Amino acid sequence: MDEAPEPHDDELVARTQAGDPEAFDDLVVRYSPRLYGLIYNMTSNHEDTNDLLQEVFAKAYRSIKGFRGKSSFYTWMHSIAVNMTINFIKKRGRRHAMSLDDLDAGIHNDPDFIDATTGGDPRDDANLSELQQRLNEALQKLSHEHRAVVTMFDIQGMPHAEIAKILGISEGTVRSRLFYAHRQLQNYLQEFIKH
């Protein structure tokens, strides 16, 4: 027998607004992996990401009765996550230590990884670890506005229009920030690009 189709976000939001906390649990399950990726790639720290993600959902739960659906729930949630993460990064300042997640084993078969590690054995853990370290260091050197755009576009694969809505800026600004961020990243990641 086929499983019932997953309820749409709007339905879960309406049920939450009507006082059904389990509906919000479904939204947490649905959005936590995606928002985790967004926050993690902006902070490069697993523990900070965990705490921030808890706060993001707590804030969303407190505010959901005021959500009127002018934007999609997806956009609304991402806006909360990005704004809270940027505020956190501003407060954190320069005192920052990276706490990186493990890499999924699937990376060994990714052609982009093999291409990036040409010259060495792509299965070499030292290569892998160095690449991960350098990528995160390079991201942390970007301003928080540039990092947010790069995370959403390059890592999470969001379209420009969606990023513009989340950040409340024009698509042109998104493209411009991406352009400058990529230029900086090219400098930081020279050794993985020039071969």
Q: Using CA atoms, how far apart are residues 12 and 24, in angstroms rounded to an integer? A: 7
Q: How far is the CB of 156 from another protein (least distance, A)?
A: 8
Smallest gap, in angstroms, from Cβ of residue 68 to another protein? 7
Q: How far is the CB of 27 from another protein (least distance, A)?
A: 11
Q: 45 — phi, psi (to 5°)?
A: -150, 120
Nearer to another protein, 72 or 127 (CB): 127
Beta bridge partners of 99: 45
Q: Which residue number, 54 or 176, has a Cβ lying nearer to another protein?
A: 54
Q: Give the distance between the most distant pair of CA atoms in the chain.
A: 59
Smaller CB distance to another protein: residue 40 or 73?
40
Q: Which residues of 51-71 are buried (b: 16+ CB within 10 A; e: fewer)?
A: ebbebbbeebeeebeebeeee
Q: Is the dihedral of CA 75, 78, 83, 84 positive or negative?
A: positive
Report the interface residues with another protein, using CB under 8 A. 21, 25, 28-29, 32-33, 36-37, 40-41, 46, 50, 53-54, 57-58, 61-66, 68, 100-104, 106-107, 110, 112-113, 115-116, 131-132, 135-136, 139, 150, 154-155, 182, 185-186, 189, 192-193
Residue 173 C-beta: closest distance to another protein, Å: 18
> Would you put residue 100 in left (φ > 0), alpha (ψ -120 to 50) or beta?
beta
Q: Which is nearer to another protein, 33 or 93 (CB)?
A: 33
Residue 91 corresponds to which tokens in the numbers above?
Answer: 């407060």
Nearer to another protein, 57 or 88 (CB): 57
For the CB of residue 128, give the shortest distance to another protein in the complex, in Å. 9
